[in-house]
Structure 1
Amino acid sequence: MTKEEKKDLIETCSSLSKKFAERASEYDRKATWPVKDYEDIKNAGLLGIMVPKDKGGLGADFLTYTKSLEQLSTGGASTGLTFNMHNITAGILSESETKDIGGSRGKAMNDFRDWALGEIVNERKMFASANSEPGIGAHFSALKTTYKKVDGGYIINGYKLFVSMLGYADYYVVAARREQSSGDLPEISFFIVELDNPGIEIEEIWDTLGMRATVSNNMRLKDCFVPNDKLFLGTEGLGIFKLTREPHWVIGGYVGTYLGICQATFDYMISHLKKKKIPGTDQSVINRDWVQRDVGRLAVELEGARALVYKAAKMVDEHRGKPETNVAIHHSKYAVSELAPRLASDAIRLCGGSGIAKSLPLERFYRDARCGGLMPATSDECLLYAGKSALGFDLTQIKETYW
C-alpha cells in the first residue's frame, strides 16, 4: 500500500467507528450480533484488508492493520474484536508463502489459499476461530478435540468454548489433535468447518460481563465430517509449530482492539471532565491540580502503551518471526490488557457517579476492557514469556512456551 492508501484506510475506519459508537450500547445490552456494523465493514471492502492486492484485497501491512483496528474498536469494541478474529485467518493465509512449494503438497496449499482468499474477497465470507476448550483455554498442546482420517476427509469430535461469531461467520477454523496423538507435543491440525455442517451443534449460552456483542457461543462437534480440501493449507500438524514461530496473529491481533478501548475511554473522560463543575461553583474540575495530575498520568501511560503496540506491529512487518519481534508482541499485549481496565477504573473515579450509568459508555468500556487480560496470551502468559526471554530461555523451542 502507498502512504496515501494507508492514510485513507485508517480514515475510513475512523469514520466507520463513529457509526459503530451509535449502535454499541444496544448491541451490548442485548448481546446480539452487530449486523449493521458488518454491513458497513463489508461495503467498505474491509474483509479483505489483509488480502494481497494481487488476490483482490487491500494489501495492508500489520502496522496499518493495527491502526485500522484501533480506530474501529474506539466505536465498537466487540465489532473490533470479531473483525480481528476473521483477520487471524485472513492474515495468516495472506502471509503464507506457498507459491514456490512444489509437488502435491504445494498444490494443496496453494489451492486452499486461493479458495479461502477468494471466498473473503469475492463472496464476502467471514472466518472465525474455534480453539478454546473447557479447563484449558487456548493451550493447544492440551486440546481434547480429536480428528481421524477417513475416506475423503476427516472426522472431528470435541467441544469448543468462546467461539466468537458462532452462528454468524460462514466458516470456522477448528483446532484438533490427531487421535492416538499424545504426549507433550501432540499433532495439532486445523480444519475449515462450514456453518451449515450437520456435525456441529451451537449452544447459545453467551451472557457475559463484557464483549457481549461478539456472541461467542459454544460449539459441539459430533462425528463432524470435513473433506480433504478443507484441511487448513492442505497440511496436517501445522498447529503448535506455527504458533511458536510466528505468534503475532493469535496474540498481537488483539492488541489493536484493546488500544482502541483505551483511546475511547480516555477521549470520553476528557470530554466529560471539561463539562463537569466543582460542586457549588461554576468552575470546571479541570482547574484542580489533582485532576490535571491524574489525567497527565493516564495520558503518559496511554502514549507509552501505544508506542509499544506500534513498535511491535512495525517489527512484525520488518522482522516477522524473529525472537525479538515475538517478545515485543507479548510486551504490547500485556501493556494494553492491563492498562485498559485500570484506565477505565480511574476514569470512572474521575468522572464520578454518572460514570456507572448504563446510558453512558464508560461502564461498558470498563466491562469490555476487563476481558483483555483473559485472551491469548493472557497477562500471566505474557509475563512468563517476557521473563523467560529476559532470562535467556530459547523461546523458539515449543517446550518453553505456554502453548
Structure 2
Amino acid sequence: MSLETTLDQLRQIAESVVRAEAPIIDKEAKWPQNSIKALQQEGFGGFVVPQENGGHGQGLYGLARACEILGEESGSAGLCFGMHCVGTAMIVAKATEHQKKNFLEPIAAGEHLTTLALSEPGTGAHFYYPQTQLLTSSSGGFIVNGEKTFVSNGGYADSYVLSTMGVDPDATQHEFSCVVVEEGMKGIAWGPEWDGLGMRGNSSRSLSLSNVALPEGNLLGAQGDQLWYIFQVVAPYFLTAMSGTYLGIAQAAFDVVREHLKSRVYRHNGVSLDQISLLQHRLGMLWAKIERTRQLIYHATQQYDKGDPAAVLAILSSKAEVANCVVEVVNEAMTLAGGIAYRDNSRLDVLLRDARAAHIMGPTTDILYTWLGRAVLDQPILDS
C-alpha cells in the first residue's frame, strides 16, 4: 500500500472519529480513547513498526504527514499518536527477538500502546539527563527507582520507554540506559489527572517508580546506550511528531479564518470580508508562513529517510520553526476573525491554547536554536 493510500485511510478516521471526539477531549480533559482505538483497529498502531514485524514500516516523512492530518482535527490526538510512534521507534531501533515478539508484534496488531517517559522533576527541559536509577537485581534483571513527569498517554499506555542512569557503579554521568516498563508492574504509581491549559487530552501525568522489578529483556540496546537513543531515535522521531502535529494546528487555524473571511458580510454596505485588500494581504502572509514551514518539515524528513546526515539540522530547526509558525498563525487568525473568535471555547480558542505548548515542550525553542548554533559552529551540542 502506498503512503498516500495509507494517509487517505488515516484522514478518513481523522475527519470522522477524531473530529467528533475533539470537543469532548478539550472540554473534559479526556484522553482521546476513541481516536486512538480507531487508529489501532485500522492498523495504524504499527505505523513505524517494520513490515517484517507486521507494521507499515513508515519513516519520518510518513510520521510528519500522519501527525499533521491528526493535528488538524485534534492536537491532543496527534500528540498522543505521535508519542506512541516515538516509543515504538525506540523499541524498533535495537529490538531483540524477545522485544519483537512481546512488543512490536502486539503494537502492529493494535493490541499494545506505548509511549515515552523521559522528563523528570528538577531537570526542566534537560530531559536527556535522567536521575531515575537502574540497579542490578540480585535475582536477575533490574530494579527501577525514580520519578518521571509529563508522561503523555500516562495511565493509558501498555508500556513506557524510560531513560535511567547507568547500572554500573563506575558509570560516568553520561552513561544512561533505556528500558521498557510495562503497565501493571508492582511499584508503579500515577500522579494527579492532567488538567492543562491546552493539549488537554494528553494525560501528561507524573509517574513514580518504587523498586519496580524489570526482566533483563526489557533493557533497550546495551547498558549506557541512552544518549545514542536520544540523538539517533528520540530527537528525530519526537521532533517530527511534534512538528507535524503543530503544523496541523496551524493549518486548522488558517482554514477557520479563511472560511470566516469568505462568509462574513458587512450589513451596512454588503461588502464581504474576502473583498478587502488588507485582509487578503494578511491571509496571504499566513499561507506563506505555513507553507514554508511545511516544506522545511517535509524536506527535512525526506532527507533523513534517505540517510542524509545533514538532515539532522533541518530536523532540529523544524520544531523550532513550527513553534513560531503555529503561535503566530493562530494569534493572527484570532485577530482576523475578530470578537467572535474570542468567545469561550471557540475553535480558535482551543487552537490557541494547544499551539502555545509548542514552545514549551522540550527541547524548547530556545534550546533547539542553541543546539543549531553549536552544530554549525562545530561545537558539542550538549554542555560538558
TM-score greater than 0.5 by the shorter chain: yes
Question: Are residues 281 and 184 of structure 1, via their aligned partners in 2, closer, same or farther at CA, if it must alter by over 3 Å?
Answer: farther
Query: Hey, what's the Cα distance between the residues in 1 that align with 2:383 and 2:114?
Result: 25
Query: Hey, what's the Cα distance between the residues in 1 that align with 2:345 and 2:227?
Result: 44
Shift of 1:338: 1.2
Query: Hey, what's the Cα distance between the residues in 2 that align with 1:240 and 1:25?
Result: 38
Which amino acid in 2 is paired with 1:121? A
Shift of 1:275: 1.3
Query: Hey, what's the Cα distance between the residues in 2 that align with 1:219 and 1:293?
Result: 48
Query: Hey, what's the Cα distance between the residues in 2 that align with 1:140 and 1:181?
Result: 22
Query: Hey, what's the Cα distance between the residues in 2 that align with 1:57 and 1:220?
Result: 32
Question: Are residues 244 and 6 of structure 1, via their aligned partners in 2, closer, same or farther at CA, if it must alter by over 3 Å?
Answer: closer
Pick aligned residue for 1:42 from 40, 44, 56: 40
**1:374 to 2:360 alignment:** yes
Shift of 1:385: 1.6
**1:213 to 2:201 alignment:** yes
- Residue in 1 that maps onto 2:66: 68
**1:387 to 2:373 alignment:** yes
Question: Are residues 14 and 141 of structure 1, via their aligned partners in 2, closer, same or farther at CA, if it must alter by over 3 Å?
Answer: closer
Structure 1: gaps of 5 or more residues: 99-108, 394-398
1:212 aligned counterpart, secondary structure: coil
Shift of 1:361: 1.1
- Residue in 2 that maps onto 1:258: 246
Query: Hey, what's the Cα distance between the residues in 1 that align with 2:67 and 2:381?
Result: 30
Query: Hey, what's the Cα distance between the residues in 2 that align with 1:18 and 1:182?
Result: 53
Question: Are residues 358 and 387 of structure 1, via their aligned partners in 2, closer, same or farther at CA, if it must alter by over 3 Å?
Answer: same
CA deviations over 1:274-323 (Å, ceiling 9, x no partner): 11223633211111111011101111111100010000110110126x2x
8 Å Cα contact 2:167-2:223 kept in structure 1: no
- Residue in 2 that maps onto 1:148: 135
2:294 aligned counterpart, secondary structure: helix
Question: Are residues 181 and 329 of structure 1, via their aligned partners in 2, closer, same or farther at CA, if it must alter by over 3 Å?
Answer: farther
Structure 1 residues 348-363: aligned runs within 5 Å: 348-363=334-349
8 Å Cα contact 1:146-1:178 kept in structure 2: yes
CA deviations over 1:316-344 (Å, ceiling 9, x no partner): 10126x2x111010111111111111110
Structure 1 residues 163-242: aligned runs within 5 Å: 163-178=151-166, 185-233=173-221, 235-242=222-229
Shift of 1:58: 1.5
Shift of 1:12: 1.5
Query: Hey, what's the Cα distance between the residues in 1 that align with 2:124 and 2:94?
Result: 29
Which amino acid in 2 is paired with 1:265? A
Query: Hey, what's the Cα distance between the residues in 1 that align with 2:237 and 2:76?
Result: 18
Question: Are residues 358 and 142 of structure 1, via their aligned partners in 2, closer, same or farther at CA, if it must alter by over 3 Å?
Answer: same
Which amino acid in 2 is paired with 1:400? I
8 Å Cα contact 1:140-1:188 kept in structure 2: no
Which amino acid in 2 is paired with 1:357? R
8 Å Cα contact 2:239-2:318 kept in structure 1: no
Structure-2-length-normalised TM-score: 0.93
Query: Hey, what's the Cα distance between the residues in 2 that align with 1:52 and 1:143?
Result: 29
CA deviations over 1:163-184 (Å, ceiling 9, x no partner): 1111111111111103676897
8 Å Cα contact 1:13-1:69 kept in structure 2: no
Shift of 1:218: 0.8
Structure 2: gaps of 5 or more residues: none
Query: Hey, what's the Cα distance between the residues in 2 that align with 1:347 and 1:181?
Result: 55
Q: Provide the aligned length of Structure 1 versus Structure 2.
A: 381
- Residue in 1 that maps onto 2:105: 118
- Residue in 1 that maps onto 2:291: 303
Deviates further, 200-209 or 356-365 = 356-365
- Residue in 2 that maps onto 1:102: none
**1:159 to 2:147 alignment:** yes
- Residue in 2 that maps onto 1:135: 122
- Residue in 2 that maps onto 1:103: none
Structure-1-length-normalised TM-score: 0.89
Query: Hey, what's the Cα distance between the residues in 2 that align with 1:402 and 1:281?
Result: 62
Shift of 1:89: 2.1
- Residue in 2 that maps onto 1:396: none
Which amino acid in 2 is paired with 1:239? Q
Query: Hey, what's the Cα distance between the residues in 2 that align with 1:72 and 1:402?
Result: 35
8 Å Cα contact 2:250-2:325 kept in structure 1: yes
